[in-house]
Amino acid sequence: MNHEDPVLLHTEGRIRHITLNRPRALNALNHTMVLRMAEALDAAERDDSVAAVLLTGAGERGLCAGGDIRAIRDDALAGGGTALDFWRDEYRLNARIARFSKPYVAIMDGIVMGGGVGVSAHGSIRIVTERSRIAMPETGIGFVPDVGGTYLLGRAPGELGTHLALTGAAVGAADALLCGLAGHFVPSRELPGLTAALELCTTPSDIATTVRRYAGAAPGGELAAQRGWIDSCYSAGTVEEIVERLGDCGESAAKETAATILAKSPTALKVTLEAVRRARRLDRLEAALDQEFRVSSTAFTRPDLVEGVRAQIVDKDRNPRWSPAALTEVTDADVETFFASLGDGELGLDTPAAP
Protein backbone atom coordinates (compact mmCIF):
# COMPACT_ATOMS: atom_id res chain seq x y z
CA MET A 1 0.00 0.00 0.00
CA ASN A 2 1.47 3.34 -1.12
CA HIS A 3 0.63 5.89 1.56
CA GLU A 4 0.94 8.69 -1.01
CA ASP A 5 -2.06 7.32 -2.92
CA PRO A 6 -5.13 9.58 -2.67
CA VAL A 7 -7.26 6.53 -1.89
CA LEU A 8 -5.87 3.82 0.39
CA LEU A 9 -7.23 0.29 0.21
CA HIS A 10 -6.67 -2.61 2.55
CA THR A 11 -8.59 -5.55 3.99
CA GLU A 12 -8.89 -6.56 7.64
CA GLY A 13 -10.97 -9.63 8.33
CA ARG A 14 -13.78 -9.42 5.83
CA ILE A 15 -13.91 -5.62 5.77
CA ARG A 16 -12.53 -3.74 2.78
CA HIS A 17 -11.25 -0.38 4.01
CA ILE A 18 -11.42 2.62 1.67
CA THR A 19 -9.62 5.65 3.08
CA LEU A 20 -9.71 9.04 1.39
CA ASN A 21 -6.12 10.19 1.68
CA ARG A 22 -5.63 13.88 0.96
CA PRO A 23 -5.63 15.15 4.55
CA ARG A 24 -3.95 18.47 3.71
CA ALA A 25 -6.86 19.20 1.37
CA LEU A 26 -9.33 17.78 3.90
CA ASN A 27 -9.64 14.79 1.58
CA ALA A 28 -11.26 16.84 -1.19
CA LEU A 29 -12.22 14.60 -4.09
CA ASN A 30 -10.50 14.70 -7.45
CA HIS A 31 -11.19 12.62 -10.53
CA THR A 32 -8.55 10.03 -9.70
CA MET A 33 -10.13 9.42 -6.30
CA VAL A 34 -13.58 8.97 -7.79
CA LEU A 35 -12.33 6.42 -10.30
CA ARG A 36 -10.32 4.57 -7.63
CA MET A 37 -13.37 4.35 -5.38
CA ALA A 38 -15.51 3.01 -8.22
CA GLU A 39 -12.90 0.36 -9.04
CA ALA A 40 -12.65 -0.58 -5.36
CA LEU A 41 -16.40 -1.06 -5.09
CA ASP A 42 -16.48 -3.20 -8.22
CA ALA A 43 -13.68 -5.38 -6.84
CA ALA A 44 -15.29 -5.64 -3.39
CA GLU A 45 -18.63 -6.64 -4.86
CA ARG A 46 -17.04 -9.44 -6.89
CA ASP A 47 -14.94 -10.71 -3.99
CA ASP A 48 -16.85 -13.23 -1.88
CA SER A 49 -14.31 -12.83 0.93
CA VAL A 50 -15.40 -9.20 1.41
CA ALA A 51 -18.47 -8.82 3.62
CA ALA A 52 -18.61 -5.01 3.68
CA VAL A 53 -16.86 -1.77 2.79
CA LEU A 54 -15.80 0.79 5.39
CA LEU A 55 -15.19 4.39 4.25
CA THR A 56 -13.08 6.77 6.34
CA GLY A 57 -11.00 9.90 5.84
CA ALA A 58 -7.32 10.33 6.67
CA GLY A 59 -6.31 12.95 9.21
CA GLU A 60 -8.13 14.42 12.17
CA ARG A 61 -10.36 17.03 10.53
CA GLY A 62 -13.00 15.13 8.63
CA LEU A 63 -14.10 12.63 6.04
CA CYS A 64 -14.19 14.93 3.00
CA ALA A 65 -14.67 18.65 2.41
CA GLY A 66 -16.15 18.13 -1.07
CA GLY A 67 -14.82 18.28 -4.59
CA ASP A 68 -11.63 20.04 -5.63
CA ILE A 69 -13.33 23.31 -6.50
CA ARG A 70 -10.07 25.13 -7.21
CA ALA A 71 -9.46 22.71 -10.06
CA ILE A 72 -13.04 23.17 -11.28
CA ARG A 73 -12.59 26.95 -11.31
CA ASP A 74 -9.30 26.65 -13.19
CA ASP A 75 -10.99 24.43 -15.76
CA ALA A 76 -13.84 26.91 -16.20
CA LEU A 77 -11.41 29.82 -16.65
CA ALA A 78 -9.52 27.82 -19.27
CA GLY A 79 -12.70 27.01 -21.15
CA GLY A 80 -12.18 23.30 -20.57
CA GLY A 81 -14.51 20.42 -19.90
CA THR A 82 -12.67 18.18 -17.46
CA ALA A 83 -15.02 19.28 -14.67
CA LEU A 84 -17.93 17.78 -16.59
CA ASP A 85 -16.04 14.50 -16.93
CA PHE A 86 -15.37 14.59 -13.19
CA TRP A 87 -19.02 15.21 -12.32
CA ARG A 88 -20.17 12.52 -14.72
CA ASP A 89 -18.05 9.89 -12.97
CA GLU A 90 -18.71 11.32 -9.49
CA TYR A 91 -22.49 11.13 -9.91
CA ARG A 92 -22.19 7.61 -11.26
CA LEU A 93 -20.23 6.75 -8.12
CA ASN A 94 -22.94 8.28 -5.93
CA ALA A 95 -25.53 6.04 -7.60
CA ARG A 96 -23.18 3.07 -7.34
CA ILE A 97 -22.87 3.58 -3.59
CA ALA A 98 -26.64 3.74 -3.16
CA ARG A 99 -27.10 0.45 -5.02
CA PHE A 100 -24.06 -1.37 -3.57
CA SER A 101 -25.13 -4.91 -2.75
CA LYS A 102 -23.08 -5.27 0.44
CA PRO A 103 -23.06 -3.09 3.57
CA TYR A 104 -21.39 0.24 2.85
CA VAL A 105 -20.36 1.77 6.18
CA ALA A 106 -19.42 5.47 6.06
CA ILE A 107 -17.80 7.10 9.07
CA MET A 108 -18.96 10.72 8.76
CA ASP A 109 -16.66 12.04 11.47
CA GLY A 110 -15.61 15.70 11.36
CA ILE A 111 -16.24 17.82 8.27
CA VAL A 112 -18.43 16.23 5.58
CA MET A 113 -19.43 18.67 2.86
CA GLY A 114 -20.59 18.61 -0.76
CA GLY A 115 -18.94 15.68 -2.49
CA GLY A 116 -18.20 14.20 0.92
CA VAL A 117 -21.93 13.87 1.47
CA GLY A 118 -22.18 12.17 -1.92
CA VAL A 119 -19.75 9.39 -1.01
CA SER A 120 -21.25 8.81 2.44
CA ALA A 121 -24.92 9.74 2.83
CA HIS A 122 -26.09 7.34 0.08
CA GLY A 123 -24.49 4.40 1.89
CA SER A 124 -26.50 1.76 3.72
CA ILE A 125 -24.88 2.47 7.13
CA ARG A 126 -24.03 6.13 7.84
CA ILE A 127 -22.39 6.99 11.15
CA VAL A 128 -21.98 10.46 12.65
CA THR A 129 -20.15 11.56 15.79
CA GLU A 130 -20.20 14.59 18.08
CA ARG A 131 -17.53 16.09 15.81
CA SER A 132 -19.58 15.79 12.60
CA ARG A 133 -20.33 18.95 10.65
CA ILE A 134 -22.35 18.15 7.54
CA ALA A 135 -23.31 20.65 4.87
CA MET A 136 -24.19 21.27 1.26
CA PRO A 137 -22.67 24.80 1.02
CA GLU A 138 -22.82 25.24 -2.75
CA THR A 139 -24.95 28.41 -2.94
CA GLY A 140 -22.08 30.29 -1.26
CA ILE A 141 -19.80 29.59 -4.24
CA GLY A 142 -22.38 30.26 -6.94
CA PHE A 143 -23.18 26.59 -7.41
CA VAL A 144 -26.13 24.29 -6.64
CA PRO A 145 -26.29 21.22 -4.36
CA ASP A 146 -25.36 18.12 -6.34
CA VAL A 147 -24.04 14.54 -5.71
CA GLY A 148 -27.64 13.55 -4.93
CA GLY A 149 -27.92 16.33 -2.36
CA THR A 150 -31.15 17.68 -3.82
CA TYR A 151 -32.65 14.19 -3.54
CA LEU A 152 -31.60 13.84 0.10
CA LEU A 153 -32.61 17.35 1.13
CA GLY A 154 -35.90 17.08 -0.71
CA ARG A 155 -36.80 14.17 1.56
CA ALA A 156 -35.92 15.83 4.86
CA PRO A 157 -38.90 16.52 7.15
CA GLY A 158 -40.96 19.57 6.29
CA GLU A 159 -38.85 22.35 4.82
CA LEU A 160 -35.63 21.52 6.70
CA GLY A 161 -33.95 20.43 3.48
CA THR A 162 -34.88 23.66 1.72
CA HIS A 163 -33.41 25.59 4.65
CA LEU A 164 -30.12 23.68 4.48
CA ALA A 165 -29.95 23.90 0.69
CA LEU A 166 -30.42 27.67 0.50
CA THR A 167 -28.30 28.65 3.50
CA GLY A 168 -25.57 26.02 3.13
CA ALA A 169 -25.66 25.71 6.92
CA ALA A 170 -23.65 22.95 8.57
CA VAL A 171 -25.45 20.63 10.97
CA GLY A 172 -24.24 18.38 13.75
CA ALA A 173 -25.07 14.77 14.47
CA ALA A 174 -28.62 15.11 15.82
CA ASP A 175 -29.75 17.35 12.98
CA ALA A 176 -28.09 15.12 10.38
CA LEU A 177 -30.07 12.20 11.80
CA LEU A 178 -33.28 14.23 11.81
CA CYS A 179 -32.80 15.24 8.19
CA GLY A 180 -31.99 11.72 7.01
CA LEU A 181 -28.37 12.50 6.12
CA ALA A 182 -27.12 9.86 8.58
CA GLY A 183 -28.45 6.82 10.37
CA HIS A 184 -26.48 6.24 13.56
CA PHE A 185 -24.61 8.22 16.21
CA VAL A 186 -21.42 6.75 17.66
CA PRO A 187 -19.13 8.81 19.94
CA SER A 188 -15.78 9.44 18.29
CA ARG A 189 -13.94 7.75 21.16
CA GLU A 190 -15.76 4.53 20.24
CA LEU A 191 -14.71 4.50 16.56
CA PRO A 192 -11.54 2.40 17.06
CA GLY A 193 -13.54 -0.19 18.97
CA LEU A 194 -16.30 -0.17 16.39
CA THR A 195 -13.80 -0.62 13.58
CA ALA A 196 -12.13 -3.54 15.34
CA ALA A 197 -15.50 -5.14 16.02
CA LEU A 198 -16.58 -4.75 12.41
CA GLU A 199 -13.42 -6.50 11.28
CA LEU A 200 -14.59 -9.58 13.20
CA CYS A 201 -17.96 -9.64 11.42
CA THR A 202 -18.68 -12.17 8.72
CA THR A 203 -22.23 -11.40 7.58
CA PRO A 204 -24.35 -8.30 6.89
CA SER A 205 -26.52 -9.08 9.91
CA ASP A 206 -23.40 -9.22 12.11
CA ILE A 207 -22.38 -5.82 10.81
CA ALA A 208 -25.79 -4.26 11.43
CA THR A 209 -25.92 -5.73 14.95
CA THR A 210 -22.43 -4.47 15.74
CA VAL A 211 -23.23 -0.93 14.63
CA ARG A 212 -26.39 -0.90 16.73
CA ARG A 213 -24.39 -2.09 19.74
CA TYR A 214 -22.06 0.90 19.51
CA ALA A 215 -24.71 3.45 18.53
CA GLY A 216 -26.54 5.70 20.96
CA ALA A 217 -28.44 8.94 21.29
CA ALA A 218 -26.82 12.00 19.74
CA PRO A 219 -26.35 15.24 21.68
CA GLY A 220 -29.23 17.65 21.17
CA GLY A 221 -29.57 19.48 17.87
CA GLU A 222 -31.16 22.78 16.86
CA LEU A 223 -33.49 22.17 13.95
CA ALA A 224 -36.30 20.32 15.74
CA ALA A 225 -37.02 23.39 17.87
CA GLN A 226 -36.92 25.64 14.78
CA ARG A 227 -39.32 23.58 12.66
CA GLY A 228 -42.16 26.04 13.21
CA TRP A 229 -40.64 29.08 11.56
CA ILE A 230 -38.61 27.04 9.08
CA ASP A 231 -41.65 25.19 7.72
CA SER A 232 -43.72 28.35 7.63
CA CYS A 233 -41.16 30.57 5.93
CA TYR A 234 -39.71 28.10 3.44
CA SER A 235 -43.08 26.92 2.17
CA ALA A 236 -43.27 30.18 0.20
CA GLY A 237 -43.24 29.96 -3.57
CA THR A 238 -40.16 32.06 -4.31
CA VAL A 239 -36.81 32.89 -2.73
CA GLU A 240 -37.90 36.53 -2.44
CA GLU A 241 -40.97 35.54 -0.46
CA ILE A 242 -38.96 33.16 1.71
CA VAL A 243 -36.57 35.98 2.61
CA GLU A 244 -39.50 38.32 3.29
CA ARG A 245 -41.17 35.78 5.59
CA LEU A 246 -37.91 35.16 7.43
CA GLY A 247 -37.51 38.86 8.07
CA ASP A 248 -41.10 39.31 9.23
CA CYS A 249 -41.66 36.22 11.39
CA GLY A 250 -40.33 37.73 14.62
CA GLU A 251 -37.67 35.11 15.34
CA SER A 252 -34.15 36.49 15.66
CA ALA A 253 -32.70 33.30 14.18
CA ALA A 254 -34.97 33.73 11.17
CA LYS A 255 -33.83 37.31 10.60
CA GLU A 256 -30.20 36.16 10.74
CA THR A 257 -31.04 33.43 8.27
CA ALA A 258 -32.52 35.99 5.86
CA ALA A 259 -29.22 37.89 5.92
CA THR A 260 -27.30 34.65 5.34
CA ILE A 261 -29.38 33.80 2.29
CA LEU A 262 -29.04 37.27 0.78
CA ALA A 263 -25.25 36.90 0.79
CA LYS A 264 -25.46 33.88 -1.56
CA SER A 265 -25.55 33.89 -5.35
CA PRO A 266 -29.04 35.02 -6.45
CA THR A 267 -28.95 32.70 -9.44
CA ALA A 268 -27.77 29.75 -7.36
CA LEU A 269 -30.50 30.39 -4.80
CA LYS A 270 -33.31 30.39 -7.34
CA VAL A 271 -31.99 27.34 -9.17
CA THR A 272 -31.44 25.52 -5.88
CA LEU A 273 -35.01 26.11 -4.71
CA GLU A 274 -36.34 24.80 -8.02
CA ALA A 275 -33.93 21.83 -8.00
CA VAL A 276 -34.90 20.69 -4.50
CA ARG A 277 -38.60 21.00 -5.27
CA ARG A 278 -38.26 19.08 -8.52
CA ALA A 279 -36.13 16.41 -6.81
CA ARG A 280 -38.83 15.99 -4.18
CA ARG A 281 -41.15 14.78 -6.94
CA LEU A 282 -38.64 12.27 -8.33
CA ASP A 283 -38.84 8.68 -7.13
CA ARG A 284 -35.25 7.62 -7.88
CA LEU A 285 -31.85 8.96 -6.93
CA GLU A 286 -30.69 8.35 -10.50
CA ALA A 287 -33.30 10.75 -11.85
CA ALA A 288 -32.15 13.42 -9.41
CA LEU A 289 -28.52 12.88 -10.41
CA ASP A 290 -29.48 13.25 -14.07
CA GLN A 291 -31.18 16.54 -13.20
CA GLU A 292 -28.19 17.69 -11.14
CA PHE A 293 -25.84 16.99 -14.04
CA ARG A 294 -27.91 19.30 -16.26
CA VAL A 295 -27.79 21.99 -13.59
CA SER A 296 -24.07 21.58 -12.90
CA SER A 297 -23.20 21.62 -16.59
CA THR A 298 -25.01 24.93 -17.01
CA ALA A 299 -23.61 26.43 -13.80
CA PHE A 300 -20.13 25.61 -15.08
CA THR A 301 -20.64 28.09 -17.92
CA ARG A 302 -21.95 30.92 -15.74
CA PRO A 303 -19.84 33.60 -14.00
CA ASP A 304 -21.00 33.01 -10.42
CA LEU A 305 -19.17 29.71 -9.94
CA VAL A 306 -15.80 31.19 -10.92
CA GLU A 307 -16.48 34.30 -8.84
CA GLY A 308 -17.73 32.40 -5.81
CA VAL A 309 -14.70 30.13 -5.65
CA ARG A 310 -12.45 33.16 -6.09
CA ALA A 311 -14.05 34.99 -3.19
CA GLN A 312 -14.28 32.04 -0.80
CA ILE A 313 -11.26 29.91 -1.64
CA VAL A 314 -8.70 31.71 -3.84
CA ASP A 315 -8.57 35.35 -2.69
CA LYS A 316 -10.63 34.69 0.46
CA ASP A 317 -11.97 38.25 0.53
CA ARG A 318 -15.47 36.83 1.17
CA ASN A 319 -16.86 39.56 -1.09
CA PRO A 320 -18.24 37.89 -4.22
CA ARG A 321 -19.63 40.10 -6.97
CA TRP A 322 -22.57 38.07 -8.19
CA SER A 323 -23.97 38.47 -11.70
CA PRO A 324 -26.88 39.16 -11.64
CA ALA A 325 -26.49 40.84 -8.26
CA ALA A 326 -30.12 40.76 -7.11
CA LEU A 327 -32.81 38.12 -6.82
CA THR A 328 -35.24 40.26 -8.80
CA GLU A 329 -32.87 40.18 -11.77
CA VAL A 330 -33.03 36.38 -12.07
CA THR A 331 -36.08 35.46 -14.12
CA ASP A 332 -38.03 32.21 -14.27
CA ALA A 333 -36.72 31.79 -17.82
CA ASP A 334 -33.15 32.10 -16.53
CA VAL A 335 -33.83 29.35 -14.00
CA GLU A 336 -35.44 27.11 -16.58
CA THR A 337 -32.30 27.06 -18.74
CA PHE A 338 -30.50 25.10 -16.01
CA PHE A 339 -32.94 22.20 -16.39
CA ALA A 340 -32.91 22.00 -20.18
CA SER A 341 -31.90 18.73 -21.83
CA LEU A 342 -28.24 18.30 -22.72
CA GLY A 343 -29.11 16.13 -25.70
CA ASP A 344 -26.30 13.67 -26.37
CA GLY A 345 -24.50 15.03 -23.30
CA GLU A 346 -27.05 13.73 -20.79
CA LEU A 347 -25.77 11.70 -17.85
CA GLY A 348 -28.45 9.09 -18.52
CA LEU A 349 -28.44 7.22 -15.22
CA ASP A 350 -32.22 6.93 -15.15
CA THR A 351 -32.58 5.78 -18.75
CA PRO A 352 -34.68 2.57 -18.83
CA ALA A 353 -32.73 -0.53 -19.79
CA ALA A 354 -33.43 -1.95 -23.23
CA PRO A 355 -35.77 -5.00 -23.20
* Candidates 75, 90, 109, 146; catalytic one: 146
Concerning whether 138 is annotated as a catalytic residue, the answer is yes
206 is catalytic: no
Pick the catalytic residue from 68, 75, 109, 138: 138
- Among 57, 66, 115, 148, the one annotated catalytic: 115
Task: Verify whether residue 228 is a known catalytic residue.
Answer: no
Active site residue 59: no
Secondary structure, 3-state, the chain: CCCCCCEEEEEECCEEEEEECCHHHCCCECHHHHHHHHHHHHHHHHCCCCCEEEEEECCCCEEECCECHHHHHHHHHCCCCHHHHHHHHHHHHHHHHHCCCCCEEEEECEEEECHHHHCCCCCCEEEECCCCEEECCHHHHCCCCCCCHHHHHHCCCCCHHHHHHHHCCCECHHHHHHCCCCCEECCHHHHHHHHHHHCCCCCHHHHHHHHHHHCECCCCCCHHHHHHHHHHHHCCCCHHHHHHHHHHCCCHHHHHHHHHHHCCCHHHHHHHHHHHHHHHCCCCHHHHHHHHHHHHHHHCCCHHHHHHHHHHHHCCCCCCCCCCCCHHHCCHHHHHHCCCCCHHHCCCCCCCCCC
Catalytic residue among 57, 62, 66, 67: 67
Catalytic amino acids? 67, 115, 138, 146
